[in-house]
Amino acid sequence: MNDIHWLTATALRSAYEQRTLSPVTVVDALLERIGKLNGSFDAFIRVDAEGAQEAARAAEQALSDGRSLGPLHGVPIGIKDIFDVAGQPTTCHSKIMLDHVAAQDAAVITRLREAGAILLGKLALHEFATGGPCFDLPFPPARNPWNREHIPGGSSSGSGAALAAGLVPLALGTDTGGSIRGPAGFCGVVGLKPTAGSVSRRGVFPLSASLDTVGPMARSVADIALLQDVMAGRDPGDPTSVVASSRSSGADLGRGVRGMRIGFVRHFHEEDMRADPETIAALESVARTLIREGAEVVTVRLPPLNEMGDVYRVIMPSGAAAIHAAWLRDRPGDYARATLRKLMAGAAHSPEVCASAQRERAAVGAAIDRVLHEVDVLMTVNSMEPACRLDADDDTLARSHVRQARNPFNLSGHPALAMMCGLSAAGLPLSVQFVARAHDETTLLRVASAYEQASGWHARHPLA
């Protein structure tokens, strides 16, 4: 197969079962593609070719023996370099962590291994999952495969870029204020921020502990369901984690949206922050597609986007500043300039301001819950415009970071998914965000899958 690099994890599993492909062939093809293209997009900062090939041979032998290693048997995956992988550096894309070698696997890495996945290597990110696309770090920033002069979004930048470039079929990301959904939208792939607590965070370097979420990234909704089901579940080592739902995330993927009620939050992009005209047009096209598929789309209102953003902009930076307090005191010069500026801003919030923000956060969650009692799923803008240029000035990059509608759902903990819904005139992806009730990833992925199949955007790729 000449297009191994575009096969989804679901397609790879089927090919293995039919013996039309082998894990060794797939891993070798992806390693060759990484060698060819990674220099253009800087998605990987470390490739474990030897470990991946060894795992591929073991997966292939198991197939020959008639044994299944699990739901991800022989499927390659890229790991954001914020997750611990035993014996490998966890750098967080920072000079500060260059010499840190993980003693044991993060909880989700253990689950991936137990499910038969093959770890290809570590992916780029924004330093410590904050900062931005910086050139004053040990590794270059990842680039957008749709146009390498543009940002791929962050902080899971390498994950989005690797998927869009056909370097991996699956990737891990983390999402504290949109760090999965941002790159998914800018890179034209799919990213899920699951319900808070549904995936263990043990062995993942924190950004802001009360907001951090681990989630899957892929090129199809079915693959998101597959990876989420592997990762989800209670971990005794993470007291914030919860028991997984008894229903598979992908249980309703083929049911369509007929009879469902979709709440379109138009005021986010029409009033609170006026979106780019191409983004507005793409969102209206999503609504029309869902209506054609049999859903009822109604306009709903949540609290103003700026008010919820103000709450987030207290809680996230203050949490991050607390985690980095010792390094900020002893090693400030080892951070990228953009990272240092963000972390220092968080240190300025008083305990009283932080306590007030936490009270307002509870009100945000309650308001979103009330609307979700009236509809099955919410539909909102993801980013207000396509990805900006990588060489944009600081103000433009900062503007791109805040002109989005993702962080309300980190505050509330609801599951949220971003996916491609169009291309700009310049050929850059546009995206939509869907949000569901807590612990109802099944319904969320049902709607996303119906839109994916009806629209066909998932079949578009930036590269040969």
Q: Which residues belong to the active site?
A: 80, 155, 179
* Eight-class DSSP state of 457: G
The total number of residues shown for the chain amounts to: 464
The residues pairing with 144 across neighbouring beta strands, listed in sequence order, are: 147
Q: Looking at this protein, which amino acid is placed at residue 273?
A: M
Contact between residue 59 and residue 69 where contact means Cβ atoms under 8 Å apart: yes
Taking alpha carbons only, the member of 406, 367, 369, 368 closest to residue 384 is: 406
Structure tokens at 372: 């979700």
Contact between residue 144 and residue 99 where contact means Cβ atoms under 8 Å apart: no
Residue 366 CB-half CA count within 13 A = 6
Structure tokens at 425: 């005139």
Contact between residue 323 and residue 82 where contact means Cβ atoms under 8 Å apart: no
Taking alpha carbons only, the member of 48, 102, 104, 103 closest to residue 76 is: 48
The residues pairing with 416 across neighbouring beta strands, listed in sequence order, are: 193, 435
C-beta pairs of 11-14 under 8 Å, 24+ apart in sequence: 12/74, 12/75, 12/169, 13/71, 13/72, 13/73, 13/74, 13/75
Report how far residue 338's alpha carbon sits from residue 243's, in angstroms, rounded to the nearest whole number.
38
Q: Looking at this protein, which amino acid is placed at residue 364?
A: V
Report how far residue 325's alpha carbon sits from residue 331's, in angstroms, rounded to the nearest whole number.
10
Structure tokens at 235: 């971990």
Q: At CA 279, angle to CA 275 and CA 284, rounded to 5?
A: 110
| Backbone phi, psi, residue 433, to 5° | -125, 135
Write the CA distances from 165 to 5, 200, 219, 407, integer angstroms: 9, 28, 11, 27
